[in-house]
A and B are shown apart, each in its own frame.
Chain A
Amino acid sequence: MNAFYKLAVLAAEEEVVHHEIHVGDGGWWADTAGIMLVLPFVAFLLILAFGKRMKNKGGEIAVAALAINLGWASVLFFLNMTEGVLDQTVFEIGRIGSGLVFELGWVVDGLSIMMFFLVNFVGLLVFIYALGYMKDDVRVDWFFAAFSLFAGAMLVLVGAPNLVQLIVGWEGVGLASYFLIGFYWEDLANVKAGNTAFLTNKVADVGLILGAILVAVAIGSFDFAELAVAATEHAEALGAVALAGGLLLFFGAMGKSAQFPLHIWLPDAMAGPTPVSALMHAATMVTAGIYLMARVFPLFQNLAEDARPWMIAIGTVTLFAVGLLALVADDIKKVLAYSTVSQLGYMMTAVAAGGYTAGVFHLFTHAFFKALLFLGAGSVIHAVHSNNMSDMGGLRKYMPTTFWTFAVGSLALAGIIPMAGFWSKDEILATLGYEGYTAVMWIAIAGAFVTAFYMTRAVALTFFGTYKGHGQPHESPRIMTWPLIGLAIPSIFVGVLNIPGVSWPGIGNFTEWLGVRVVPMGDHHAEAINWGLAVAGLGAAVLGIALGWMIFAKDKDTQKERDSLEIPVLYPLFRQKYYVDHLALGIVGAIKGPIANFIDWTNTYIIDGFVNAVGGGTKAAGEFVYDTVDQKGVDGVFNGLSATADGAGRIARKWQTGRVQQYAAAFVAGVLVLVVVFVFVI
């Protein structure tokens, strides 16, 4: 902790941000911020105890907990805006020798305050929505309990001052995710989806834990502040271990933030109730990986710089290839799931390219409009009782509030000015261009086109045309539509918090709030809007919307025929999700057979064989003495000689099988040996 305060003073003295923001320590509010981490767990226990008897099955307790949290977070946010807050409170719980220390607590700086605010704000609105959505459903008390558990774990994660607590929070959200994806466990498919999510994340978590250990060993502490200082000051000394650790941490982030090829669990996770999808798999849990990358950003700036192109490559493939999958999905939640993976690819690419603020800002804006879109989808699903867009259509007339908020969310996602998505995407493009990754920047612009196209398709198929289902759709109750409006407003206006070069008087801008941290980030901040890029990004989005509109919205009667329009080779490939699932299953299936067979063979031939051989050998020795030495004598020697010649011939002639392929195989093997000898040995 001493190091932290020294650094806080250092940061205040240096010009951390453009304007003279005087960094304070948040006073009483920061010191007691830990209550935000604890309250949801208290709610969890209370709901389990009393939920069944309450009118909304415990939902009230959950909402109350998050409302109190939001109050705290808002105060901290306001303090950060005006004077900057930098503080950390930890309690030591263990120690290895005189070296590594295990601590739990909470850190309050620009990044964590932003995340506290985000998780609590979006969480509160989703909880309120869920009060209406889950009404009269099964096990509602367990739903709110698990959801509160998730909220608590997420806050533990984002408030983590060191890698240990981050991992604790990480596993906690994974657990809650498993519970909630498999919420409707009466249906086996949902259980399998929960398992897939849990196991995929577990595979990645191996990397996370190993990475954390390596980084901690290299730096001497799990603490993020000390990591930042060490990475900036003693960069050269830490070398390869830190690079390996950074790569492993990235692997862990890949699992949680669904980067290709560990993205397979996210579309399957749509089996859970829609509020779960909205909060966990859009706004908060999946952003944990990006958050981790942002926290250890100094590591990647200095020590593990070689890891960054790999991260960018994976992020780029994710943003484009998985975005294409949204074109063929019929289930509206799957469209949004693929869209989420694609946007996570944007964030990861931005952070990996050095755009700390760009990536985190996109995380911030994306949470609002993606949660909005999911809640809107839930509203539609609730009315139509089906997830598939082929059962929808023309819902604009029946559900106007849902339609307008969904449209706002779609425009924000597509990146149309002045919505929030435009500003954050533009900043990502500017960062990529500035850092020299031009090819990736163009792929990102193409991705914007694809995004706009598939969102227009979704909007058109759902809200325009004629209603293709059966039943009477109606607008959702106010308890569900008010959160939609509550999320739509930030989706429109939040973007102005980070216009390049603009800093609002008295409160500053997003870049400055985020810049309140231990060590200055040193990422590039544009002084003014790059109009060329802005127009390019906007143009791509407008083109996507126009094309989508022309294909899917125009003539409402033939809409269904036109949705079955297929590009021959590509669409089946998309439907099979690039066969990644088959590959994963294939790998697992292919490995387990041979391993089992090998173990069986070892047991039968080597172990049992050894035992049998000893017995057989003894018996054979006895017979040998009797037969050969005793009976055969001299004649036996001559008979044996001729028999040997005969037997050798018999064996040798078996080589002439007459089968050309075996001759060819021997030929290739021989050539291989000769080449290896000549090229490598001689």
Chain B
Amino acid sequence: MLLTQFLVVGAALFAMGVYGLLVRRNIVLILLSVELMLNAVNINLVAFESVLVSSEAIGHIFAIFVITVAAAEVGIGLAIVLMIFRNRKSANVDDLNLMRW
């Protein structure tokens, strides 16, 4: 198995996540796209580890940290979404434009 086949899959997923981040209107869907991006990064990390084969499984550890931090981020993110929804009664990101000119 080539290394680049995994990296390209990771790149494709990341690109899809970027697209979702920029296009979706519902905040929860934006968070979903961010998760997709983080997942793509994980694929890259684990793929590199299989080539490196370090004595401490560095790539795997890194991936585990990424997963953990992603979980924490989702928790906080959804709490923020909840607050926004309470205040503005809408989960549509176009409605959050108080900082415009």
Query: Which of chain B's residues 59-101 have a Cβ closer than 8 Å to chain A?
Result: 93-94, 96-101
Query: A653 vs B99: C-alpha distance in the bound complex, in angstroms?
Result: 11
Query: Does A661 contact B97, Cβ atoms closer than 8 Å?
Result: no
Contact with B along A661-680 (1 / 0, CB 8 A): 10011001000000000000
Query: Does A658 contact B97, Cβ atoms closer than 8 Å?
Result: yes
Chain A residues with CB under 8 A of B100: 656-659
Interface size on A, residues (CB 8 A): 11
Query: A659 vs B30: C-alpha distance in the bound complex, in angstroms?
Result: 13
Query: Does A660 contact B93, Cβ atoms closer than 8 Å?
Result: yes
Chain A residues with CB under 8 A of B18: 668
Chain A residues with CB under 8 A of B30: 661
7 other A-B residue contacts (CB within 8 Å) besides A659-B100, A668-B18: A656-B100, A657-B97, A657-B100, A658-B96, A661-B22, A664-B21, A668-B22
Chain B residues with CB under 8 A of A657: 97, 100-101
Query: Does A654 contact B96, Cβ atoms closer than 8 Å?
Result: no
A658 and B93 in contact, given A664-B21, A668-B18, A668-B22 (Cβ under 8 angstroms): no
Query: A603 vs B76: C-alpha distance in the bound complex, in angstroms?
Result: 52
Chain B residues with CB under 8 A of A653: 101
Could you say which of A654, A656, A661 has the most chain B C-beta atoms within 10 Å of its C-beta? A661
B24 shortest CB reach to chain A, Å: 8
Q: Which partner residue on chain B sits nearest A652 by CB separation? A: B101
Chain A residues with CB under 8 A of B23: 661
B48 shortest CB reach to chain A, Å: 17
Q: Which partner residue on chain B sits nearest A663 by CB separation? A: B99
Chain B positions near chain A (C-beta within 8 angstroms): 18, 21-23, 30, 93-94, 96-101
Show 17 residue pairs from A and B whose CB-CB distance is below 8 angstroms, ordered by the A residue. Answer: A653-B101, A654-B101, A656-B101, A657-B100, A658-B98, A659-B93, A659-B97, A659-B100, A660-B96, A661-B21, A661-B22, A661-B23, A664-B21, A664-B22, A665-B22, A668-B21, A668-B22
Q: Which partner residue on chain A sits nearest B21 by CB separation? A: A664
Chain A residues with CB under 8 A of B98: 658
B34 shortest CB reach to chain A, Å: 10
Query: A659 vs B101: C-alpha distance in the bound complex, in angstroms?
Result: 11
Query: Does A656 contact B99, Cβ atoms closer than 8 Å?
Result: yes
A310 shortest CB reach to chain B, Å: 16
Chain A residues with CB under 8 A of B22: 661, 664-665, 668
Query: Does A658 contact B21, Cβ atoms closer than 8 Å?
Result: no
Chain A residues with CB under 8 A of B94: 659
Chain A residues with CB under 8 A of B96: 658-660
Query: A664 vs B34: C-alpha distance in the bound complex, in angstroms?
Result: 12
Query: A672 vs B100: C-alpha distance in the bound complex, in angstroms?
Result: 26
Query: A657 vs B99: C-alpha distance in the bound complex, in angstroms?
Result: 7
Q: Which partner residue on chain A sits nearest B96 by CB separation? A: A660
B62 shortest CB reach to chain A, Å: 20
Q: Closest 7 A-B residue pairs measured CB to CB?
A: A658-B100, A658-B97, A653-B101, A658-B99, A656-B101, A665-B22, A657-B100
Chain B residues with CB under 8 A of A656: 99-101
A291 shortest CB reach to chain B, Å: 35
A661 and B93 in contact, given A668-B18, A668-B22 (Cβ under 8 angstroms): yes
B19 shortest CB reach to chain A, Å: 10
Q: Which partner residue on chain B sits nearest A659 by CB separation? A: B97
Query: A659 vs B97: C-alpha distance in the bound complex, in angstroms?
Result: 5
A488 shortest CB reach to chain B, Å: 47
Query: A658 vs B88: C-alpha distance in the bound complex, in angstroms?
Result: 15
Query: A668 vs B22: C-alpha distance in the bound complex, in angstroms?
Result: 10
Query: A664 vs B24: C-alpha distance in the bound complex, in angstroms?
Result: 12
Chain B residues with CB under 8 A of A664: 21-22
A463 shortest CB reach to chain B, Å: 46
Q: Which partner residue on chain B sits nearest A650 by CB separation? A: B101
Query: A668 vs B34: C-alpha distance in the bound complex, in angstroms?
Result: 13
Chain B residues with CB under 8 A of A665: 22
B85 shortest CB reach to chain A, Å: 16
B26 shortest CB reach to chain A, Å: 12
Query: A656 vs B96: C-alpha distance in the bound complex, in angstroms?
Result: 13
B66 shortest CB reach to chain A, Å: 19
Query: A465 vs B99: C-alpha distance in the bound complex, in angstroms?
Result: 72
Query: A653 vs B94: C-alpha distance in the bound complex, in angstroms?
Result: 18
B8 shortest CB reach to chain A, Å: 16
Chain A residues with CB under 8 A of B97: 657-659
Query: A656 vs B30: C-alpha distance in the bound complex, in angstroms?
Result: 21
Chain A residues with CB under 8 A of B99: 656, 658
Query: A381 vs B93: C-alpha distance in the bound complex, in angstroms?
Result: 59
B32 shortest CB reach to chain A, Å: 14
Query: A657 vs B101: C-alpha distance in the bound complex, in angstroms?
Result: 6
Chain B residues with CB under 8 A of A661: 21-23, 30, 93
Query: A660 vs B80: C-alpha distance in the bound complex, in angstroms?
Result: 15
B30 shortest CB reach to chain A, Å: 8
Query: A665 vs B33: C-alpha distance in the bound complex, in angstroms?
Result: 14
Q: Which partner residue on chain B sits nearest A660 by CB separation? A: B93
Q: Which partner residue on chain A sits nearest B27 by CB separation? A: A660
Query: A654 vs B97: C-alpha distance in the bound complex, in angstroms?
Result: 13
A156 shortest CB reach to chain B, Å: 45
B98 shortest CB reach to chain A, Å: 6
B75 shortest CB reach to chain A, Å: 20
Chain B residues with CB under 8 A of A660: 93, 96
Chain B residues with CB under 8 A of A654: 101
B6 shortest CB reach to chain A, Å: 19
Contact with B along A459-503 (1 / 0, CB 8 A): 000000000000000000000000000000000000000000000
Query: A94 vs B97: C-alpha distance in the bound complex, in angstroms?
Result: 74
Chain B residues with CB under 8 A of A658: 96-101
Query: Which of chain A's residues 617-659 have a Cβ closer than 8 Å to chain B?
Result: 653-654, 656-659
Q: Which partner residue on chain A sits nearest B23 by CB separation? A: A661
Q: Which partner residue on chain A sits nearest B18 by CB separation? A: A668
B41 shortest CB reach to chain A, Å: 14
Query: A656 vs B98: C-alpha distance in the bound complex, in angstroms?
Result: 10
Chain B residues with CB under 8 A of A668: 18, 21-22
A355 shortest CB reach to chain B, Å: 27
Query: A656 vs B97: C-alpha distance in the bound complex, in angstroms?
Result: 9
Q: Which partner residue on chain B sits nearest A657 by CB separation? A: B100
Could you say which of B21, B23, B101 has the most chain A C-beta atoms within 10 Å of its C-beta? B101
Query: A653 vs B100: C-alpha distance in the bound complex, in angstroms?
Result: 9
